[in-house]
Amino acid sequence: MSDYRPAHRIREGWQVHLLPDKWLTVTHILRVYAPVNFVRLDLSDGDFYSCPPQQEIRCRTLAEVRAAS
């Protein structure tokens, strides 16, 4: 269970599918509005991912994570 959602809707604790066959949990979110508008997602593997807020990212909510387990 997952869906594509805009990056600005993703919350801490959700999982994102950025790598093939690997779900990573979002540990922290930084939203920057000026001078450049972007969202930075800190991930459970220690890496981060930055993108425009409207970019569609495959993700799972907490309820979807529990249902997939």
Q: What is the pLDDT of residues 14-33, one digit of tens each?
A: 999 998 889 999 999 999 99
E strand spans, the chain = 3-6, 15-19, 22-32, 38-43, 48-51, 56-60
Is 18 a member of any domain? yes
The domain total for the chain is 1
Calculate mean pLDDT across residues 26-42: 97
In 31-40, which positions are buried (b, 16+ CB within 10 angstroms) versus exposed (e)? eeeeeeeebe
Is 24 a member of any domain? yes
Query: Which range marks the domain in which residue 52 is found?
Result: 3-63
**What pLDDT is attached to residue 26?**
97
**What pLDDT is attached to residue 43?**
97
Instruction: Give percent above pLDDT 70 in the chain.
Output: 100
Asked if the bond preceding 35 is cis, omega within 30° of 0, the reply is: yes
